[in-house]
C-alpha cells in the first residue's frame, strides 16, 4: 500500500495563530495527509509565522531557514506572510507565501506541490479536529481582525478589520470540543469584547431560537457547557460590565484578560487607546463589588515614545490602585509599519529596561500578596500534568502558559483533565502549593 504524503508543521506566535494552525492541520488530516513530527520525515513543511514584533520576525525567518536547510520544501503562511518580498529576499527557495488565516490558499499550494491521496481517511479525523493543545483544554477563536488602530500595532494591516464568526458555528465547535473531552475553553480573538460589532449584532439561530451575535449572549450560552470558560483579549468596552454578573453566577470563570497598556492618559492618547484611567479604576472597583473572586490579568508597555518620568510614575500609581492579579510588562519595540515609529522623543533602551524593572518590582509585590491571601482556601483545580511524585494543576485564576500553577506533592491515581478539590497550603513567587482534600 502506498504511503500517504506527509506534511511537517511549525506553529509560531500567539494562541490565535495556534487556532489557525489547528484548522490547517485538520484540513490536511481530513484529506488523508500524514503529519510528520520532524523535518526528515516530511515531504513538505508549512511554517505558520508571527510578524508582530522584531523578535518574532527574526524567529520566523530563522525557522524558515532551518526548515529549508533540513527539508528544502517549505510553504510559509501567517502574519509575516504579508511581507512576502522580505521573506523571498531572505529565503528565495520557499515554495509559496500566504498571509494570515488564508486556509484555502495554503491548501491550494499544498495540492500543487504535494497532491492529496485519492482516498481521504475521513474516519480518522475526530469531530473536534486536530488540536495542538493538551486534550483537556482548547482555544476557541470567535473572530478575526480588529477595528482599532492602536499606534503601536499592525494587526489590522496583517489580519484586516473585525470579522466575527457566526454564533451557531462557534457554539457547534464548542460543543464538539467539550464532547471530545475538553474541560476548558479559552475564548480568543484580536478583540473578544467586540464580537458581533461588524454584524451590528445580527441574530443567528441556535437551538431553534434567535440569539444576538454579541459577547454577552455568547458567554451565557458557552456557560451552559460542562467546561470552564475563560475570556482572553477583552478590550474594556462599557458592555464588558455585562459579563461580570455571569462570572459572579458561575456561568463563566471569574477571569478577565484585559490589555490596558498604560496608566498615563497622555501616553494612552498617543497609543490611540481609551484614556479614561479614572473610569477604568472605578469600573474595576465595581466589578470586584459584584464578583469578589474576579482575577484580572493585563499587559503594559513601558518606554513608549514620549513617556516621561511623570508619565511612568502615573503608571505606577495606576498599578498600586488597580491591584491587578496577573501582569505582563514589555518595553516598547518599534514594529515596521506602525504609526508610533514616527512619534518624537523615543525612550533610550537602557531607560526602558530600568523602568520595566521598577514596574515589575512593584507588581511582583502586589501579585505575591494576592497569592499569599489564598493560603488556607479550598479551591477546585484542573490537573494539567501527572508526574511520579507531584501534580501540576491550575485554578480558576490561572490560564495555561501565561499564569502560575498549583503544585501538589505525592503520587495520585489522577489523569490530566480531572477536576479536584484542594486546600492551598503555601505560595511562591508565581505558583501556589496545595494538598488534595481527604474526600478526594
- Determine what percent of the chain falls in helix, strand and coil, rounding each to the nearest 5: 35, 20, 40
How far is Cα of residue 322 from the mean position of the Cα atoms in its chain?
23
Q: What residues contact 312, with CB distance under 8 A and at least 6 apart?
A: 264, 302, 355, 358
Other CB atoms within 10 A of residue 369 CB: 11
Q: Which residue has cell 479536529?
A: 129
User: Whole-structure pTM over 0.75, yes or no?
Assistant: yes
The H or E element containing residue 178 is helix 167-179
The alpha carbon torsion through 169, 173, 178, 180 (nearest 10 deg) reads: 140
Contacts (Cβ under 8 Å, ≥6 apart) of 155? 52, 145, 146, 190
User: Which residues lie across from 393 on neighbouring strands?
Assistant: 383, 406
Length of the chain: 440
Enumerate residues 6+ apart whose C-beta is below 8 A from 1: none
From first to last of its 440 residues, the chain has per-residue pLDDT tens of: 458 899 999 999 888 888 889 889 988 988 889 999 999 999 999 999 988 778 889 999 999 999 999 999 999 999 999 889 999 999 999 999 998 888 889 999 999 999 887 554 444 455 556 667 788 999 999 998 888 889 988 888 888 899 999 999 999 999 999 998 999 999 999 899 999 999 999 999 998 899 999 999 999 999 999 999 999 999 888 888 999 999 999 999 999 999 999 999 999 999 998 767 778 999 999 999 999 999 999 999 999 999 999 999 999 999 999 999 999 999 998 888 889 999 999 999 999 999 999 999 999 999 999 999 999 999 999 999 999 999 999 999 999 988 999 999 998 989 999 999 999 999 998 899 999 997 64
- Three-class secondary structure of residue 427 per DSSP: strand
Burial call 327-342: b when 16+ CB within 10 Å, e when fewer:
bebebbbebeebbbee
Amino acid at each position: 500500500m502506498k504511503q500517504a504524503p506527509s506534511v511537517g508543521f511549525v506553529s509560531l506566535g500567539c494562541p490565535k495563530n495556534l487556532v489557525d494552525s489547528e484548522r490547517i492541520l485538520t484540513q490536511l488530516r481530513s484529506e488523508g495527509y500524514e503529519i510528520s513530527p520532524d523535518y526528515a520525515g516530511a515531504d513538505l513543511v508549512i511554517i505558520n509565522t508571527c510578524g508582530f514584533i522584531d523578535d518574532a520576525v527574526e524567529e520566523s525567518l530563522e525557522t524558515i531557514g532551518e526548515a529549508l536547510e533540513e527539508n528544502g520544501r517549505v510553504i510559509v503562511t501567517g502574519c509575516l506572510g504579508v511581507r512576502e518580498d522580505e521573506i523571498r529576499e531572505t529565503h528565495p527557495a520557499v515554495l509559496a507565501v500566504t498571509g494570515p488565516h488564508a486556509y484555502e490558499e495554503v491548501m491550494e499550494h499544498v495540492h500543487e506541490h504535494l497532491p492529496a491521496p485519492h482516498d481521504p481517511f475521513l474516519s480518522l479525523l475526530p469531530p473536534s479536529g486536530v488540536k495542538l493543545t493538551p486534550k483537556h483544554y482548547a482555544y476557541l477563536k470567535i473572530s478575526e481582525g480588529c477595528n482599532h488602530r492602536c499606534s503601536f500595532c499592525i494587526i489590522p494591516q496583517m489580519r484586516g478589520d473585525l470579522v466575527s464568526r457566526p454564533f451557531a458555528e462557534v457554539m457547534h465547535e464548542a460543543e464538539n470540543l467539550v464532547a471530545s473531552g475538553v474541560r476548558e475553553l479559552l475564548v480568543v480573538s484580536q478583540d473578544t469584547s467586540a464580537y458581533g460589532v461588524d454584524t451590528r449584532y445580527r441574530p443567528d439561530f441556535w437551538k431553534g431560537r434567535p440569539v444576538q451575535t454579541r459577547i454577552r449572549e455568547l458567554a451565557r450560552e458557552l456557560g451552559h457547557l460542562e467546561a470552564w470558560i475563560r475570556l482572553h483579549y477583552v478590550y474594556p468596552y462599557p458592555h464588558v460590565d455585562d459579563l461580570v454578573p455571569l462570572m459572579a453566577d458561575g456561568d463563566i470563570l471569574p477571569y478577565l484578560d484585559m490589555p490596558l497598556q498604560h496608566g498615563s492618559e497622555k501616553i494612552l492618547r498617543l497609543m490611540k487607546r481609551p484614556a479614561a484611567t479614572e473610569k477604568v479604576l472605578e469600573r474595576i472597583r465595581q466589578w470586584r463589588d459584584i464578583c469578589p473572586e474576579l482575577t484580572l490579568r493585563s499587559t503594559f508597555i513601558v518606554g513608549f515614545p514620549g513617556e516621561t518620568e511623570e508619565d511612568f510614575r502615573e503608571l505606577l500609581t495606576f498599578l498600586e490602585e488597580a491591584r491587578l492579579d496577573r501582569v505582563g510588562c514589555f518595553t516598547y519595540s518599534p514594529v515596521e509599519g506602525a504609526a508610533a515609529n514616527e512619534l518624537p522623543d523615543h525612550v533610550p533602551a537602557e531607560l526602558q529596561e530600568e523602568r520595566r524593572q521598577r514596574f515589575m518590582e512593584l507588581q511582583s509585590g502586589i501579585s505575591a500578596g494576592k497569592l499569599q491571601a489564598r493560603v488556607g482556601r479550598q479551591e477546585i483545580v484542573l490537573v494539567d500534568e501527572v508526574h511520579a511524585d507531584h501534580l501540576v494543576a491550575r485554578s480558576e485564576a490561572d490560564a495555561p502558559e501565561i499564569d502560575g500553577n498549583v503544585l501538589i506533592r505525592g503520587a495520585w491515581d489522577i489523569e490530566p483533565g480531572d477536576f479536584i478539590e484542594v486546600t492551598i497550603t503555601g505560595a511562591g513567587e508565581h505558583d501556589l502549593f496545595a494538598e488534595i482534600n481527604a474526600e478526594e
